[in-house]
Amino acid sequence: MSMSKPRSAKSSMTDQATDAIASALRTLEAEADGVTALAAALKSDLGPAFVAAANLITNAKGRLIVTGLGKSGHIGRKVAATFASTGTPAFFVHAAEASHGDLGMITPDDVILAMSWSGEQPEMKNLITYAKRFKIALIAMSADGDSTLGQAADVSLILPKAREACPHNLAPTTSSVMLLALGDALAIALLEGRGFTSIDFSVLHPGGKLGAMLKFARDLMHSGDAIPLRPLGTKMSDALVEMSSKGFGCVGIVDSRGLVVGIVTDGDLRRHMRADLMTALVDEVMTKNPKTISPSLLASETLEILNSSKITALIVTEGKKPVGIVHLHDLLRAGVA
């Protein structure tokens, strides 16, 4: 009588990993289906309400007050932060805390965005009553238009029903993703509608890597005597001294008007290596019409040019006149790269 061999620990771990990945894929597929259903709803019945909500927030004299509790509250905090960082003054008020004094944070000039999948949380009742009493515009984001919240709202953003990724259809998963996605969609629609630019964005994001990427070339460039420059007709020996002393691995070449017409880099030296290189003129060695950038170019765009061109430094010009130089190391020090 043969006996089956016991499963090895390695085989068991492999099965567990396979099961975990299969579970993760089911979750992602369920949540993706929810977002797909949301996109389809925006193209039909949800579309007009979405436009009405955007107009209501745009025309408000005050701020956008995002509220919710439970998982919807966590999503609401993030959505409020997204609105605020993209040009729509907004903050989050917890629906339960509102009844204990935080209603005083909401003024008649504000607009309330209440997020609740069911639309039936008891804690919302006092907030709804307050909004009605002081004629504060109320936008509901819910999956049930017939709910207490949906019926009380001036504008109801009704999300399509979707199955939670939770196998018991209980834990808020797909629903949370759909609330977040619709909140982000509304924030970006407002951003684009008011023409909010990257410069506006930089004012609100001065810190961290994002803040560094939103700096300008003028904030990072070396200027004055630090710029490696030599005129046309300069011997390569002199150009090499300038290149070495300034430490940027290049030297800009200017004409009699002071305009940048060329650049000599380490690569140019290798390509023109010959016995009489040091006595040759920069005119013969330089790369003509080099890439330059303006002082107002974002640091993130400067990094993109350096990477795509496979170079390490860019001369900053105004009307083709050199005003600075930016090196890849400057971007690294600033935290951009």
Binding-site residues for Zn(2+): 94
Sequence ranges of the binding site? 94
Q: Is 78 exposed, middle or buried (0-12, 13-18, 19+ CB in 10 A)?
A: middle
**Strands laid side by side in the 64-68 sheet:** 90-94, 64-68, 111-115, 137-142, 155-158
Rg of the chain taking only CA atoms, in angstroms: 30
Separation CA 12–CA 234 (nearest Å): 73
CB count within 10 Å of CB 238 equals 14
The sheet carrying 321-327 orders its strands as 292-293, 313-318, 321-327
DSSP code, position 224? G
